[in-house]
């Protein structure tokens, strides 16, 4: 049973994934009472196993970087892309662009069940009250102001008051669904099937621990290859839902058919053996109409979820927790928990994720011509900045303008039919 359910309200956080746990840490550091309510019992499986290097700053903030090192997660030094019809790879290494506040040239690949449990325990160690197996049925309102949550646990239903309710429930989007805020993406409607394998050929010695992305010869199709341990590799096939539906195959056959569809991928998987069940994911891209209101805030996937091609999910979760905590702390200092108080958080996160989103959109538009920008001396560092998660605190992203210009020049040229055929039908304006 939840202790102190009727005590003086603090912050109730719905969800104990990376966003909720990071927020709990930040609030506890600031001396603000907070309670994390997680519906699952950790450890629990979760997709999204690769990080970007900007997450290092938040892990340092929360004194969690030493935990990442202690637990021996696979170090990720770069990324590689493979064309659909021939062998070879285009690669980048993070050391090419040192980041302020990041004193290592790598990030991590993780077993999310392990990482999420460690973060949740870390939040508890900082002072968060953590309860697992607790289902939030609804957020309670006094007029238009959130004032608590109604929960169900151990066969009982009861109310927990709060000065601020934060939805960090991920793609369950508890409060977004309750308030009917969810807007499905008009461009992306993708589907993924994934599993873990042993015996995957990870490539050269230099890039063996990179994330590898294989372009597929289908609409917006790609495959991820992520090392989880020295033996286990996560492999996932992603394409438009219509590609899956039109195939008339079950998810298992569809998955394995695509693993054989490109030379490089077929080579990498020729001796692979699956070690867990295939899982599927949908509902890939959406945005909430608002990220905050009077007495409430949405963070992480509960606010915005974009296609995971660039491993942005955990970074968005951690930074949204960081920026939300700053406004919540100000709210407790002034007694102001209004939407206006939380609005700077929304503007910052919405702006940063918008850069991620446009980058992803340009990437899909250019497939497989994207490798032109990876190999370009003029644009390589800018691409690397984005791939490392440098999307906040900036108004101008020159490489995105260059990508738009590149696309328009191809579309306008009468002599570029080969390149035109390579462009996706994604609008760029």
Question: 345 falls in which pLDDT band (50, 70, 90)?
Answer: very high
- Tens digit of each residue's pLDDT (9 = 90 or more) over 14-54: 999 999 999 999 999 999 999 999 999 999 988 899 999 99
Boundaries of every domain in the chain: 11-73+110-184+285-351, 190-281, 357-422
User: What pLDDT is recorded for position 374?
Assistant: 84
Report which of residues 334 and 87 the model is more confident about: 334
CA–CA distances in Å: residue 379 to residues 52, 372, 409: 19, 9, 17
Dig out the tokens for 351 from the structure. 């702006």
> How far apart, in whole angstroms, are the C-alpha atoms of residue 60 and residue 107?
12
Domain 11-73+110-184+285-351 carries which CATH code? 3.50.50.60
Give me the half-sphere count of Cα atoms (radius 13 Å) on the Cβ side of residue 250.
3
Is residue 422's pLDDT more than 70?
no
User: What pLDDT is recorded for position 228?
Assistant: 97
Mean per-residue pLDDT for 222-239? 96
Residues 6+ apart with CB under 8 A from 171: 283, 301, 302, 305
- Tens digit of each residue's pLDDT (9 = 90 or more) over 52-66: 999 999 999 999 999
User: What pLDDT is recorded for position 4?
Assistant: 54
CB atoms within 10 A of CB 117: 18
Is residue 367's pLDDT more than 90?
no
User: What pLDDT is recorded for position 420?
Assistant: 65
Is residue 303's pLDDT more than 90?
yes
Is residue 412's pLDDT more than 90?
no
User: What pLDDT is recorded for position 366?
Assistant: 84
Three-state SS annotation for the chain: CCCCCCCCCCEEEECCCHHHHHHHHHHHHCCCCEEEEECCCCCCCCCCCECCCCHHHHHHHCCCHHHHHHCCCEEECEEEEECCCCCCCEEEEHHHCCCCCCCCCCEEECCHHHHHHHHHHHHHHHCCEEEECCEEEEEEEECCEEEEEEEEECCEEEEEECCEEEECCHHHCHHHHHCCCEEECCCCCEEEEEEEEECCCCCCCCCCCCEEEEECCCCCCEEEEEECCCCEEEEEEEEEHHHHHHHCCCHHHHHHHHHCCCHHHHHHCCCCEECCCCEEECCCCEEECCCEECCEEECHHHCEECCHHHCCHHHHHHHHHHHHHHHHHHHHHHCCCCHHHHHHHHHHHHHHHHHHHHHHHHHHHHCCCCHHHHHCCCCHHHHHHHHCCCCCCCCCCHHHHHHHHHHHHHHHCCCCHHHHHHCCCCCCC
> How far apart, in whole angstroms, are the C-alpha atoms of residue 349 and residue 299?
9
Is residue 363's pLDDT more than 70?
yes
Average pLDDT, the chain: 92
User: What pLDDT is recorded for position 369?
Assistant: 80
Question: 75 falls in which pLDDT band (50, 70, 90)?
Answer: very high
Fold match, 11-73+110-184+285-351 / 190-281: no
Is residue 323's pLDDT more than 60?
yes
Q: Are 83 and 368 contacting, i.e. CB atoms less than 8 angstroms apart? A: yes
Dig out the tokens for 167 from the structure. 């939805």
User: What pLDDT is recorded for position 307?
Assistant: 85
Report which of residues 205 and 289 the model is more confident about: 289
Q: Using N-to-C axis directions, what is the helix angle for 380-387 and 339-366, rounded to 10°?
A: 130
> How far apart, in whole angstroms, are the C-alpha atoms of residue 249 and residue 266?
19
Mean per-residue pLDDT for 349-361? 94
Is residue 190's pLDDT more than 80?
yes
**Percent of the chain scored above 70 by pLDDT?**
95
Residues 6+ apart with CB under 8 A from 350: 291, 304
CATH 3.30.9.100 fits 190-281, yes or no: yes
Dig out the tokens for 59 from the structure. 């892990």
Report which of residues 100 and 106 the model is more confident about: 106
Q: Are 208 and 91 contacting, i.e. CB atoms less than 8 angstroms apart? A: no
The number of residues in the chain equals 429
pTM of the model: 0.94
CB atoms within 10 A of CB 84: 18
User: What pLDDT is recorded for position 187?
Assistant: 84
Is residue 194's pLDDT more than 70?
yes
Is residue 8's pLDDT more than 60?
no
Choice among 199-203, 222-226, 236-240, 372-376 with the minimum mean pLDDT: 372-376
- Tens digit of each residue's pLDDT (9 = 90 or more) over 111-164: 999 999 999 999 999 999 999 999 999 999 999 999 999 999 888 999 999 999
Report which of residues 380 and 141 the model is more confident about: 141
User: What pLDDT is recorded for position 7?
Assistant: 53
Is residue 6's pLDDT more than 60?
no
User: What pLDDT is recorded for position 429?
Assistant: 64
């Amino acid at each position: 049973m939840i202790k102190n359910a009727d005590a003086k309200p603090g912050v109730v956080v719905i969800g104990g994934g990376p966003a909720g746990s990071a927020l709990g840490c930040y609030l506890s550091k600031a001396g603000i009472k907070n309670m994390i309510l997680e519906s699952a019992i950790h450890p629990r499986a979760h997709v999204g196993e690769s990080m970007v290097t900007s997450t290092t700053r938040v892990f340092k903030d929360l004194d969690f970087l030493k935990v990442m090192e202690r637990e021996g997660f696979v170090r990720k030094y770069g990324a590689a892309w493979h064309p659909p019809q021939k062998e070879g790879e285009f690669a980048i290494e993070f050391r090419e662009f040192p980041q302020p506040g990041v004193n290592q040239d790598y990030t991590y690949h993780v077993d999310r069940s392990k990482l999420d449990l460690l973060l949740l325990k870390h939040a508890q160690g900082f002072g968060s009250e953590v309860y697992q197996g607790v289902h939030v049925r609804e957020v309670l309102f006094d007029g238009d102001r959130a004032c608590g949550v109604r929960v169900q646990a151990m066969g009982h239903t009861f109310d927990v008051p709060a000065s601020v309710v934060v939805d960090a429930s991920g793609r369950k989007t508890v409060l977004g669904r309750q308030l009917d805020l969810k807007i499905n993406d008009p461009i992306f409607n993708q589907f993924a099937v994934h599993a873990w394998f042993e015996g995957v050929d990870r490539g050269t010695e230099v890039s063996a621990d990179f994330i590898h992305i294989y372009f597929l010869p289908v609409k917006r199709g790609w495959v991820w290859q992520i090392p989880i341990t020295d033996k286990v590799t996560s492999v996932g096939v992603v394409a438009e839902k219509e590609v899956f539906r039109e195939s008339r195959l079950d998810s298992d056959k569809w998955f394995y058919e695509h693993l054989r569809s490109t030379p490089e991928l077929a080579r990498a998987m020729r001796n692979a053996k699956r070690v867990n069940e295939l899982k599927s994911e949908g509902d890939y891209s959406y945005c909430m109409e608002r990220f905050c209101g009077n007495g409430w805030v949405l963070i992480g996937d509960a606010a915005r979820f974009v296609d995971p091609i660039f491993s942005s999910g955990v970074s968005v979760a951690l930074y949204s927790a960081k920026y939300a905590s700053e406004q919540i702390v100000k709210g407790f200092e002034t007694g102001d928990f209004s939407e206006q108080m939380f609005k700077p958080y929304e503007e910052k996160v919405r702006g940063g994720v918008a850069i991620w989103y446009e980058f992803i959109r340009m990437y899909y538009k250019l497939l497989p011509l994207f490798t032109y920008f990876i190999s370009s001396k003029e644009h390589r560092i800018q691409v690397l900045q984005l791939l490392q998660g440098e999307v906040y605190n900036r108004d101008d992203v020159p490489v995105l303008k260059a990508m738009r210009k590149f696309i328009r020049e191809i579309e306008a040229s009468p002599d570029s039919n080969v390149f035109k055929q390579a462009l996706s039908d994604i609008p760029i304006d």
